[in-house]
Structure 1
Amino acid sequence: MAPPRGSGGRVKKPSRPFFAGFIQGINSYKDLKKLFVDPEYASLAAGVLLALELVINVIVINKVRYTEIDWIAYMQEVEGVKNGTYDYAQLKGDTGPLVYPGGFVWIYLLLYTITSQGKNVLLAQYIFCALYLINLALVFRILVRTRKLPPYLYALLSLTSYRIHSIFVLRLFNDPVAVLFLYAAINMFLDEYWSLGSLMFSIAVSIKMNILLYSPVLLIAYIAILGYKHTVVQLMICGLFQLLVAVPFLMENPVNYIIGAFNLGRVFMFKWTVNFRFVPEEIFVSKYFHISLLALHILILACTAPYAYRFLKAYAKIRNLDIPHSAQLLVLPLFLCNFVGVMCARSLHYQFYVWYYHTLPYLAWCTEYSTVVRLLILGIIEMCWNTYPSTVYSSAGLHCCHLVLFYGVVSTLVKNCNTSLLTFKQK
């Protein structure tokens, strides 16, 4: 198997005129309808929506009140590093101790400097506006490559969620920064820049650990597509970057850094949970509840791993060929792996919505449900995430939608593994 291509080794595919053929052939309502329903014209929708989103985000920043939640705490945490404190146990803010890896520290220390020690919140909001647009462009690029979603769904994805806009430009959380690098990594993988993609993935993990939800299938992808030798190389890239961003903290107190930045047993506050409001608080905080969810997560991954491997092996055979829809063989296993992690999460807070929001339409369209049912699932999920505070009904509804969506996607996964993966396309 050929090694992963470097920045100079990519073979460019001949470009085809975009939209020219459509303009020449437009002569009826049926042709015009293609602009909204034919995935081949999704690029046009993506471009228009990005321009529209710039205007919308500027309006939101100037017309909707900014709400302080974690920004000041972030600034307090990185200010300690600026002042020479590298012991993670000593780095704290108003909301508690620093609980994110080293990459978070350096990125937010940069923001601390640019925004006058975090005091220029308006500038920070415009920076996050830029991050929102970059993130959306990266997501659109992935979805366009799959040629699966109709253009009108791109509009629903970008325009209809107040919660996602809020997470970016009204809250300034670190979650969207992490997922931005994750989507950059997936774009690099699709473009055959695997080493650069691994670096982007490791940067994302260094900002927030939730990105590790993708890691089981990413490891399978390395093995299935690159082989064991190059898998070792990719793992070294990921690991070395984690060491690089952690050097001063590891030198000061490695135990405190590992415990603080990678604490898998951290207990979240019950009052903020979106997904388990229907569970009594004493069960919610129980370690047995945590272990049970972790065991369920591992079991589901183990059961779906063989199917993911077959998808990825098929992708390995055709990834350098200009075959429509081939990107789906890589994208679906990755998105499903993350979705399983979210579905089995001990607690979801409102900002965690961005962990999987942009993958939901694609997953819904990977089911064989009718369009009405797909849209209903997405609508109920959106409603559940916008119910504040969460209720027994909203959290139960969220789990129901997760289960229905999971069943639909896995059914498609199994069915296509039992037929021809090269014809994998939802009609």
Structure 2
Amino acid sequence: MATTKVEGTTDAEEKPKEFVRPPFDPVGDIKKGITHMLFNPDATLILLPILLLGESMALKFITKQIPYTEIDYEAYMEQIDMIVKDKNLNYAEIRGGTGPLVYPAGHVWIYRFMYWVTNGMEDLAMGQQFFRYLYIGTLFFQLLTYYELQIQPWCVVLACLSKRLHSIFILRLFNDCFETFFMVSSIYFFVKACKSKRRTPWVTLASVAYTFAVSVKMNGLLFLPGVLVAIYLLTDGNLITSMTYVLGMAAWQIVVATPFLLHFPREYISGAFNFERQFFHHWSINWQFISEDVFLGQLFQRGLLITHIVLLVILILFKHVEIIPDGIKSLVQPRTSVHKLSSTELVNTVPFILIMSNFIGIICARSLHYQFLSWYHWTIPILIHWSKLPFFIGPIWYVCHEWCWNSYPPNDTASVLLFFCNTSLLSIILLVENFKFYLDTALEEKKMQ
């Protein structure tokens, strides 16, 4: 039976193409592999198990070779001892070697558990092992977040290079580590919500993780403006739904603190959420280049607060200028969804506002102590990626920044350099985002023509 020839084709075109083996080029293949591992965000999935395993081994080595340094953990145990053994629930009276109890009730419940894990101060090795797991768990959520945000792998690796951060976790056992774990997981859940068609479960998880973080240490409030905007945008501007999440987060703060609120409510609130607490200038890494009198003065502190608020307003309006008219619509029609952003728009807006609101808070903080690095170190790979700093510049910035946090004791030089590093990175990110905004606007106008 004769085959029918397709009209307009030749015999040569009908023949299947022969397989041509690519040339043997090991050098070129290695170059492509290195380029892929450095610049392709998908390579983060390859790095994830490698970095987790490497960090686990590094933490074991550090624990074995470097002795534990006592700073606050004994004070935590002394404070828990007063609560557990003396049945004292008055925040005004609960004290340890380094001072009064100044953390919310979530801290108390966590360190009651740690009190059992380490048997007070008897088994610190077990505590270090627990914090090693906490570090790995935190890093796991970090790496997942980097992948979801498509961060370049060379930036991702920076998350594992901080000498100070390793010390904060397994050589100091600070409560900042728990707050960081909950905060990182919260941001990851918010990012997943941006990409999901069913946002409610992810927003719920994000809200729960966030309120857990704040119940451990109130520096989580630096994320609060971003969290409120994120919830509002992810609920399509439905004010009633947004307020449900907010009230749920507030309810947890009451539930976790119930034993203290029932007996000494005023003492608890003024102790756990004391916004007027004064810090020691001597231990403040970020403001050593100003005098102690200025540092403790009301003018300086109010100036920082005003600067913080102004920068937050600029940030939010810059990324979502429609939030003011949308907010007015929501007040008029609180049960109605006033906008519906696409997943792409949400991913470009929500994580940026969340992470940048915290970074702005860090820059405007009245005081930064060594352990406070954990508040934002995990965001540095994201910030460097957003800044578009070249491959050979980003690591230099990181080394300078890390030197500031490892310079002991706090001094003028490290303080000035830290201020320059953080403010310059903030400025570069905003300039890059501004350029992208005008470029996207120009492209949209060109399409409409």
State the TM-score bracket (shorter-chain normalisation).
Answer: 0.7 to 0.9
What residue in structure 1 maps to residue 342 of structure 2? 318
Partner of 1:179 in structure 2?
A: 180
Report the equivalent of 1:291: 302
- Cα 1:360–1:311 change in 2 (3 A) is farther
1:240 Cα deviation from its structure 2 partner: 0.5
Answer whether contact 2:207 2:249 (CA < 8 A) is retained: yes
Pair 1:201 & 2:210 matched: yes
Aligned residue for 2:410? 390
- Measured in 2, the distance between the counterparts of 1:134 and 1:73 equals 25
Take 1:215 and 1:415, find their aligned partners in 2: how far apart are those partners? 27
Distance apart, 1:412 and its partner CA: 2.3
Find the residue that maps to 1:279 and give its secondary structure.
coil
State which of 47, 50, 54 in structure 1 corresponds to 2:49. 47
Deviation for aligned residue 1:318: 2.6
CA separation of 1:311/1:103 partners in 2, compared to 1, >3 Å: closer, same or farther? Answer: farther
Distance 1:371 1:335 in 2: 22
Match of 2:141?
138
The correspondence for 2:366, drawn from 346, 370, 379, is: 346
Shift of 1:118: 3.5
Aligned-pair distance for 1:326?
6.7
The 5 Å alignment of 1:6-155 reads 28-33=29-34, 34-83=36-85, 84-149=87-152, 151-155=153-157
What aligned pairs does 1:277-426 form with structure 2 within 5 A after superposition?
277-309=288-320, 317-319=341-343, 327-420=347-440
In the aligned structure 2, how far is the partner of 1:32 from the partner of 1:45?
A: 13
**SS of equivalent residue, structure 2 residue 77:** helix
The whole-number CA distance in structure 2 between the counterparts of 1:369 and 1:188 is 27
The residue identity in structure 1 corresponding to 2:41 is: P
Q: Secondary structure of 1:372's partner?
A: coil
* TM-score normalised over the length of structure 1: 0.87
Paired residue for 2:254? Answer: 243
- Choose the corresponding residue for 1:218, options 227, 248, 254: 227
Report the alpha carbon displacement of residue 416 of structure 1 after superposing the two structures with TM.
Answer: 3.0
Distance in 2 (CA, whole Å) between partners of 1:194 and 1:368 is 29
How many Å apart are 1:328 and its aligned residue? 4.5
One-letter amino acid of the counterpart of residue 220, structure 1: V
Q: Residues 390, 311 of structure 1: CA spacing in aligned structure 2 closer, same or farther, 3 A cutoff?
A: farther
Aligned residue for 1:9?
none
Please, which moves more after superposition, 288-297 or 92-101? Answer: 288-297
Percent identity for Structure 1 against Structure 2:
31
Q: Contact 2:226 / 2:350 at 8 angstroms: preserved in 1?
A: no
CA displacement at 1:419 relative to structure 2 = 4.1
Q: Does 1:270 align with 2:281?
A: yes
Q: Offset of 1:41 from its aligned partner?
A: 1.0
Instruction: Using the TM superposition, give the Cα deviation of residue 156 of structure 1 relative to its aligned residue in structure 2, in angstroms.
Output: 2.7
Task: Write the distance in 2 (CA, Å) between the matches of 1:244 and 1:272.
Answer: 34
Cα distance in 2 between the residues matched to 1:101 and 1:326: 32
Counterpart-to-counterpart distance in 2, 1:361 and 1:231 = 30
Aligned alpha-carbon RMSD (Å): 2.1
User: What's the counterpart of residue 190 of structure 1?
Assistant: 191
Q: Taking structure 1 as reference, are residues 167 and 292 closer, same or farther at Cα in structure 2, changes over 3 Å only?
A: same
CA distance in 2, matches of 1:102, 1:303: 34
Structure 1 residue 335: deviation in Å?
Answer: 1.0
Which has the larger displacement, 331-340 or 186-195? 186-195
Contact 2:95 2:101 in 1 (8 A): yes
1:27-48 deviations in Å (ceiling 9; x for gaps): 7233312123311211111210
Residues 310 and 363 of structure 1: CA distance in aligned 2, closer, same or farther (over 3 Å): farther
User: What is the deviation of 1:271?
Assistant: 1.2
TM-score (norm 2): 0.83
Task: Tell me the amino acid that sits aligned with residue 347 of structure 1.
Answer: S
Match of 2:265 among 228, 249, 254: 254
The residue type equivalent to 1:317 in the other structure is L
Amino acid at match of 2:180: V
Gapped runs of 5+ residues in structure 1?
1-24
Structure 2 unmatched runs, 5+? 1-24, 194-201, 327-338, 444-449
What is the alpha-carbon distance in structure 2 between the residues aligned to residue 380 and residue 148 of structure 1?
Answer: 21
Deviates more, 1:80-89 or 1:336-345: 80-89
Aligned mates of 1:169, 1:38 — CA distance in 2: 32
C-alpha distance 62-316 of structure 1, shift in aligned 2 (>3 A): farther
Give the C-alpha shift of residue 390 in structure 1: 1.8
Residue type at the aligned position of 2:182 = F
Conserved? CA contact 2:179–2:217, under 8 Å: yes
User: More deviation in 285-294 or 261-270?
Assistant: 285-294
Aligned residues of 1:311 and 1:333 also touching (Cα < 8 A):
no
Q: Distance in 1 between matches of 2:367 and 2:276?
A: 12
Letter in 2 for 1:318: S
Does structure 2 retain, via aligned residues, the 8 Å contact 1:311–1:330?
no
CA 71–271 in structure 1, closer or farther in 2 if over 3 Å, else same = same
Query: Residues of 2 paired with 1:311 and 1:377: CA distance?
Result: 34
CA-CA distance at 1:368 after TM superposition: 3.7
If you compute each CA radius of gyration, which structure gives the higher value, 1 or 2?
Answer: 2
Equivalent position SS for 1:346: coil
Deviation at 1:316, TM superposition (A): 5.9
- Please tell me the residue identity of whatever aligns with 1:373: I
Taking the aligned partners of 1:418 and 1:388, their CA distance within structure 2 comes to 44
Give the aligned partner of residue 14 of structure 2: none
What is the distance in 2 between the residues matched to 1:207 and 1:218?
A: 17
TM-superposition CA deviations, 1:338-381 (whole Å, max 9, x none): 00000000110000011111111211221243333322222211
Q: Which letter does structure 2 place at the counterpart of 1:118?
A: M
Q: What is the CA deviation profile of residues 9-67 of structure 1, one whole-angstrom value per residue up to 9, with x for unaligned ones? A: xxxxxxxxxxxxxxxx9972333121233112111112101011111101111110110
Partner of 2:386: helix, strand, or coil? coil
- Letter of the structure 1 residue corresponding to residue 226 of structure 2: V
Corresponding residue for residue 229 of structure 1: 240
For residues 320 and 399 of structure 2, the distance between their equivalents in structure 1, rounded to whole angstroms, comes to 31
Contact 1:46 1:154 in 2 (8 A): no
Question: Do 1:310 and 1:417's aligned partners in 2 also have CA atoms closer than 8 Å?
Answer: no
Shift of 1:311: 10
Query: Secondary structure of the equivalent of 1:224?
Result: helix
